[in-house]
Structure 1
Amino acid sequence: MAEAIHVFQGPNEYLLHHQVEAKIKSLNVDPFNIMRYDLLENKSEDILEDMQTISFFSEQKVIVIKNINVLDKEDEHIFNRWTTYFEKPNPDVFVIIEMIEALPKTSKTQNLLMKYAMIEKISDMEKKEYPEFVRNMFKKFNYSITDDAVTALLERTNYDFLLLSQEAEKLMLFSYDSKEIHEKEVILLVSRNLEENIFELTNALLAKDQSKTIEIFYDLVARNEDPLRILNFIVSKIRELIHTKLLIDKGYRQDEIAEHFNIRSGRAYYLLKNAKNADFNILETHLKKLSKLDFDIKSGKIDKKLGLELYLLGA
């Protein structure tokens, strides 16, 4: 009964969660009968028992499960119990499984899902689709937002869905009377996160987008960020990309990279993507040159702001 077990799989954690919540809402189930489990935190026995139990006060119960990949590490007895359930699921229960990425073809769990579950892939959005998404986000609440404001908001949140949602709420509250959002409101209320700025600056540097690189650098300096601190953050990001490329070569997946760096899955997705696109030799060259620049600044051979500015202009 594939209709009783539904898998949502996609690389964007926000979109994935949004789709799961939309599905739950469409089922019109009492909140009392919506249970959420994470196999990293909950025992298989407890989840199986709940799935086999009838719902209370309604005709259906929804059970949401994360980190289903843990089943591959369960002993044979427990895995067989899951297989038995999947073969004949409880008609009173609708099981929803959230997955960031598909498991390897060699995975027992993946084969189980392929055989007994309905799998829906949630595609990530391309950057060109974000502006329309942002406009619709505000339009849903009867707000309008200018194109300049959309661009500024996306730049300052670095296309992070969760951050976008949080900042949108703040902007709508501030503009409650006018229901109009302009670039000046975004600049006033949405601050640039240093780490995200450095992430964006590093990407622009590697893409040889000189104007973007310098624009971000000047913006950070205008906010009194220490150029030496900026340099150290860039070096850290380049090392992170090199580290990620080595992990990719070892066969690490997105979820494993997220766990390794202790970062959100969405952040790991972009780190993985950027690392794959980056040339290892170019990364090493930047690392060596920036290390030399760091030494020259600290030994007094060149001013820190001028030194980093010249480097970014010539990169």
Structure 2
Amino acid sequence: MDRLQLIYGNNALRISEKAKKLAEDFVGEADDFSIVALNYRESTIEQIIEEAQTLPFLSDRKAILVDDAYSFTGAKVRAEVDHDIDLLVEYINNKNDDALIIFKVYNEQLDNRKKITKLLKKKGTVTEMAEMTENEVRSFINTTAEEAGVEVDPKALNLFIARVGIKYDQVRNELDKLLLYTEGKITEEAVDEIVSVSLEENIFRLTDLILSGQKAGAVKLLRALMLQNEEPMQLLHLIINQLRLLYQVKLMMQQGYQGDHIAKALKVHPYRVKLAAREIGKYRQDELERKMVKCRDIDYKFKSSYLNRQSLFELFILEI
């Protein structure tokens, strides 16, 4: 294993799990002295290097997890320390200690123009932790359940995905809850009783209710989301984004583009495109345009009116 590792992507939980696995595999029996966690926003390059060059205590090996190493990206970040990147370059070029250093970067892209990024790619291993595909999530759920000695009913799995979506952190949290509750087999009834519906899936439902004219159902769902302390302005913007996605997917599919190409062009997860493609046949293009104009109008009212935003939102649902 290379003693320099960099793991990047938007999913912090997957990055942390991958980094932890690498560190534990490297040190063997992990303890508080063999695996050290440092925050790049708070620890200087000097401190990171000093930690790497300090011999491990009560252990043969040492791993250092460096959290949020933003210098490998183009992001402009305010931090508590100023980093001497030249010193880090020198250290990487001449690394002579046996410590494993894992840089965790919470960004979907690295800045490959930077000298430090090019150097680490040359001297170490860079791993991207992308969002999982739907098939990967299904496989992960089945494998995790099997390791826990639990069978997953296929219909229960479909319901789970419909409620949670495929974002790894949400899938992980809801699956952990479900496995604590379940003995032997995960059923539809168990999923219905235990698993929470994600905000993304609720927005998908709310948008569908609004577009299909089911006003009572839309208001009921809106009130339920408000009871969960969701902000009306945030909900409106999420609905606008969903309407825009439906409109764009419909337009591009009419032009002959396929799902993967659309996802790449719109920079969204293919699963969202798949869900949108499944629904767009129900709506005319001019209808989606009209709904987006209505959303723009209520957005203006939200920002300019002193009226209660929940009341404004409910009126908007009844009018749209």
Give distance in 2, aligned partners of 1:91 and 1:223: 57
Compared CA separation, residues 154 and 220, structure 1 to 2 (3 A) = farther
- 86, 90, 97: which is aligned to 1:91? 97
Report the 3-state secondary structure (helix = DSSP H, G, I; strand = E; otherwise coil) of the residue aligned with 2:191. Answer: helix
Letter in 2 for 1:288: V
Distance of aligned partners of 1:147 and 1:138 in 2 relative to their CA distance in 1, 3 Å threshold:
same
| Deviation digits for residues 93-133 of structure 1 (CA, Å, limit 9, x no counterpart) | 01112223342222232122123222233343212332222
Query: Larger relative CO (CA 8 A, sep 6+): 1 or 2?
Result: 1
Distance 2:153 2:170 in 1: 19
Q: Does residue 138 in structure 1 map to residue 127 in structure 2?
A: no
CA distance in 2: counterparts of 1:119 and 1:222, whole angstroms? 43
Amino acid at match of 2:149: N
Cα distance between partner residues in 1 of 2:237 and 2:222 = 21
1:196 to 194, 200, 206: 200
Residues 114-193 of structure 1 mapped to structure 2, 5 A cutoff: 114-176=121-183, 179-193=184-198
1:220 positional shift: 7.5
Query: In 2 relative to 1, CA 188–59 (structure 1 residues): closer, same or farther, beyond 3 Å?
Result: same
Query: 1:191 is matched by which residue type in structure 2?
Result: S
TM superposition shift of 1:21: 2.1
Structure 2 unaligned segments of length 5 or more: list them.
244-265, 277-285, 302-306
| Whole-angstrom distance in 2 between the partners of 1:71 and 1:169 | 33
Q: How many residues align structurally?
A: 263
> In the alignment, which of 302, 309, 317 is matched to residue 308 of structure 1?
317
Instruction: Classify 1:121/1:306 alpha carbon distance in 2 versus 1 (closer, same or farther; 3 Å).
Output: closer
**Which residue is equivalent to 2:16?**
17
Give deviations 1:204-263, integer Å, cap 9, x for gaps: 76xx9978x979x94873796389x99865422256789xxxxxxxxxxxxxxxxxxxxx
Query: CA-to-partner distance for each residue in 1:252-291, whole Å, 9 max, x for gaps?
Result: xxxxxxxxxxxxxxxxxxx9627x989xx99985442135
Q: What is the RMSD of the two structures over their aligned residues, measured on CA atoms?
A: 4.3
Aligned-partner Cα distance in 2 for 1:174–1:41: 40
In 2, distance between residues paired with 1:219 and 1:149?
26
SS for the counterpart of 1:119 is strand
Give the Cα separation in 1 of the matches to 2:60 and 2:111: 36
Identity of aligned residues (%): 19
The corresponding residue for 2:224 is 225
TM-score normalised over the length of structure 2: 0.65
Contact kept in structure 1, 2:72 and 2:117, CA below 8 Å:
no
Whichever residue aligns with residue 268 of structure 2, its letter is K
> What displacement does 1:71 show?
6.8
Question: Which digits, 9 at most, give the CA deviation of each residue in 1:44-64, with x for residues without a partner?
Answer: 222121112121222210011
CA contact (8 A) 2:52 2:97 kept: no
Q: Name the TM-score, length of structure 1 as normaliser.
A: 0.66
